[in-house]
Structure 1
Amino acid sequence: MYQKIKSFLYLPVILFLFWGCTTAPEKDPHVRNVILLIGDGMGLTQMYAGYTANKGSLALERSQYVGLATTFSANRYNTDSAAGGTAIACGVKTNNGMLGVTPDTIPVKSMLEYAADFGLSTGMVVTCELTHATPAAFVSHVGKRTENEKIALQLSHSKINVAIGGGRKYFEERTDAKNLTDSMRAKGFHVAYSMDEVKAVQEGNLLGLLADVAQERYPARGEMLPESVAKAINILNKNKKGFFLMVEGSFIDSGGHANDHEFVANEMLDFDRAVKAALDFAELDGHTLVIVTADHETGGMTINSGDLETGSMATSFSTKGHTGVPVPVYAFGPGAETFTGIFDNTDFLPKVLKLYGINP
């Protein structure tokens, strides 16, 4: 009887040790996928505004490593989204207002373009128009961020596999009378105009044009962002070689420009749900690196007081524009330790390429 009891007591220990041995992560797992999430205008205070509004909780807290990135552009202490996005995507400083080019307008290859040429699937999900500054930095090379139709044309010619956001007018109501969605359908793209249509796509290439220009602010647009991130991951992950996905929480920036902390917190929490979708996948996959950062901080936001039980806060802003302060960097998964310390926003590209094993 004693032997039976002893065996019964030892069984959970044996099973635990066996389970641990069979499911322990590799010591140096290969980075197959990278999900880069950019909170436009998200400084440390914007993050904490979301944390406070959510009564002391964010999915972002699951990040394993934290760093800081400097954001100045080639010609300004305070960057704009075009130069900031270009620095992250292409690894070079450029002038404010320029996309995917050096200050003397020489095109520079982006992280997404390197990934595509390496045989990986690529995608981006944004709440603004697909031709806006941050997403455009990954697929276009233009001297002025306002060249929306030119950016849309370059996106249509790119090797991207999934693109979900707004900006339908720049694809279908163009001054040159071209209908880029027709040409993308001819290349095998599913073209979706609603989230129901986006969700219905199970494989292949997807262009989701969910608004004429930008989408509505949260909560009016619903769960578009996290649901689109989950859909993009599902489609891109069918490429066994790997994928690259860029996600932007576009309107944290808008809340900062408006000096509206409720606007900021709502957008931050929506962005955090997209972060959760990425982290949930990465935890199960084991070969996915998740990076969360910002192109710049907007508003000079300060939380003067708050209450984690009620989610309320009192805030002030020093500007309606961008500031020059460094932005936080959060990382999870294989290679996450690479994104600690203080580094420049041009360092994202070489770090990611090295982890992929891509030689530029």
Structure 2
Amino acid sequence: MLKNLFILFILAGMAFTSFAQDAYLTADSEDTEKTYNGGESYKVKTFPQKFKSDKPKNIIFLIGDGMGVAQVFSGLTANQGKLFLENCKHIGFSKTQSADDYITDSAAGGTALSCGIKTYNGAIGVNTDTLAVKTILEEAEEKGLATGLVSSSAITHATPASFIAHQKNRGMYEEIAADFLNTDIDVFIGGGIQHFTKRADGKNLLVDFAKKGYQVESDIDKIKKVKKGKLVGLTADVHTARIAERGDMLPVATETALRILDNNSGDKGFFAMIEGSQIDWGGHANSTVYIVEEMLDFDQAIGKALAFAAKDGETLVVVTADHETGGMAIIGGDMSSGMVKGAYPTAGHSAVMVPVFSYGPGAEEFMGIMDNTEIHKKMKKLLLDN
């Protein structure tokens, strides 16, 4: 009983502290946004399915926040029948329920994937007793692997935070930012400058990162030129903007992070988590246009990961979601024009299973129906267990 009251208290505090950061949760969309009328498609490359080894040296873990099967198929339709994601021939499904709710939030969903445990909604890298649990990124660092995070939201938002921070409340953005300094992460790219610089404690954490030898950049054109060493790339005050304003930030950041990690890793290998954050936000807004834009952007980031993995031959790519958002149904479409018409029963998350796609050495481990915590365990076994 006391534990339940404690969790309710945490969630109440979370709702208050994160309101300004998470205004997208109450975003409205016009009826016309239920239909994506088509746009310019991009070419999709088919990559070879032959690899150098049975176990991966590197893992690139991509999370499409809010991405269910309908979101995937909306992107496939919009791109006139093709996605880079189709290179992933091993496919499964993940059950997403959290420790305290049939419908998870991104914090508990992210923590299940990063730590391999079920926890309460709102928890960042902690168990149901709010005790810190080591993440796969931290365990990779301990084994000498290079590590990185990329996100099209604030890098301190729930999903990326769950791979590097340990806080009882996902709304504790400044505390989450400070947790980055407790790690030896090689590169992180996303929004959230103000959580590092405009803080209640008056500190500018970017000064501390610079002292630790990190190159600190906020311009994506400068970020994409970095080839090695340590990099902090913060591209927005809080969250990055929609695709029309931010452009190809996510695919560019993905390619940049992978190049840095490859150059930094030596013989040890690397672990990277890359999030397409705003598929979720389109679901909250019940906007087919928003979902499709973000799904296509995420697929192009997947394309960068697959291109690296195909050339490298020792890299496993795993693509999944923390949960589905909006209960999206596709009620009309046209493969030739790319038109997609969606319908939505909720502006929140849903409880349905989400897809798991994989490519590379060890990909066959991710087939069938599995719990989200199993994804963590499978990645850890393949990458870190000798």
Common fold by TM > 0.5: yes
Classify the secondary structure of the residue corresponding to 2:103: coil
Q: Deviations over 1:105-134 (max 9, x none)?
A: 111011111111110000011010011000
Q: Deviations over 1:15-44 (max 9, x none)?
A: xxxxxxxx9956743310000000000000
Distance 1:26 1:247 in 2: 22
The answer to whether the aligner puts 1:222 opposite 2:247 as a matched pair is yes
Q: Which amino acid aligns with 1:281?
A: F
Q: Deviations over 1:248-278 (max 9, x none)?
A: 0000000000000010000000000000000
Runs of 4+ in 1 over 2 A off after TM superposition: 23-30
Hey, what does 1:244 align to over in structure 2? 271
For 1:348, which of 360, 375, 380 is the aligned residue?
Answer: 375
Q: Which amino acid aligns with 2:335?
A: L
Using the TM superposition, give the Cα deviation of residue 358 of structure 1 relative to its aligned residue in structure 2, in angstroms: 2.5
The answer to whether the aligner puts 1:358 opposite 2:385 as a matched pair is yes
Q: Which amino acid aligns with 2:353?
A: P
Q: Which amino acid aligns with 2:120?
A: N
The answer to whether the aligner puts 1:324 opposite 2:351 as a matched pair is yes
Hey, what does 1:76 align to over in structure 2? 101
The answer to whether the aligner puts 1:105 opposite 2:130 as a matched pair is yes
Retained in 2: the 8 A contact 1:37–1:293?
yes
Assess, with a 3 A threshold, how the Cα gap between structure 1 residues 25 and 253 changes in structure 2: closer, same or farther.
Answer: closer
1:1-360 to structure 2, matched below 5 A, reads 25=50, 28-238=53-263, 239-358=266-385
Using the TM superposition, give the Cα deviation of residue 64 of structure 1 relative to its aligned residue in structure 2, in angstroms: 1.8
Retained in 1: the 8 A contact 2:94–2:356?
yes
Hey, what does 2:6 align to over in structure 1? none
Identity %: 49
Q: Which amino acid aligns with 2:171?
A: T
Hey, what does 2:9 align to over in structure 1? none
Using the TM superposition, give the Cα deviation of residue 196 of structure 1 relative to its aligned residue in structure 2, in angstroms: 1.3
Classify the secondary structure of the residue corresponding to 2:156: coil
TM-score using structure 1 length = 0.92
Distance 2:51 2:208 in 1: 44
Retained in 2: the 8 A contact 1:29–1:286?
no
Distance 2:68 2:326 in 1: 9
Distance 2:140 2:165 in 1: 15
TM-score using structure 2 length = 0.86
Assess, with a 3 A threshold, how the Cα gap between structure 1 residues 163 and 26 changes in structure 2: closer, same or farther.
Answer: closer
Retained in 2: the 8 A contact 1:219–1:266?
no
Retained in 2: the 8 A contact 1:64–1:330?
yes
Classify the secondary structure of the residue corresponding to 2:260: helix
Retained in 1: the 8 A contact 2:51–2:360?
no
Q: Which amino acid aligns with 1:299?
A: G
Q: Report the number of matched residues.
A: 337
Assess, with a 3 A threshold, how the Cα gap between structure 1 residues 58 and 194 changes in structure 2: closer, same or farther.
Answer: same
Distance 1:30 1:349 in 2: 15
Using the TM superposition, give the Cα deviation of residue 89 of structure 1 relative to its aligned residue in structure 2, in angstroms: 0.3
Distance 2:176 2:102 in 1: 26
Classify the secondary structure of the residue corresponding to 2:184: coil
Q: Deviations over 1:267-304 (max 9, x none)?
A: 00000000000000101111000000000000000001
Using the TM superposition, give the Cα deviation of residue 322 of structure 1 relative to its aligned residue in structure 2, in angstroms: 0.2
Retained in 2: the 8 A contact 1:44–1:328?
yes
Classify the secondary structure of the residue corresponding to 1:138: coil
Q: Deviations over 1:127-184 (max 9, x none)?
A: 1001100000000111000000000000122121100000000101111011100000
Using the TM superposition, give the Cα deviation of residue 228 of structure 1 relative to its aligned residue in structure 2, in angstroms: 0.7
Classify the secondary structure of the residue corresponding to 2:118: coil
Q: Which amino acid aligns with 1:317?
A: Y
Hey, what does 2:34 align to over in structure 1? none
Q: Which amino acid aligns with 2:385?
A: I
* Structure 2: gaps of 5 or more residues: 1-47
Q: Which amino acid aligns with 2:290?
A: F
Distance 2:98 2:247 in 1: 34
Retained in 2: the 8 A contact 1:166–1:210?
yes
Q: Which amino acid aligns with 1:75?
A: D
Retained in 2: the 8 A contact 1:118–1:358?
no
From the CA coordinates, give the structure whose radius of gyration is larger: 1
Distance 2:146 2:194 in 1: 26
Hey, what does 1:19 align to over in structure 2? none
Retained in 1: the 8 A contact 2:64–2:279?
yes
Q: Which amino acid aligns with 2:355?
A: P
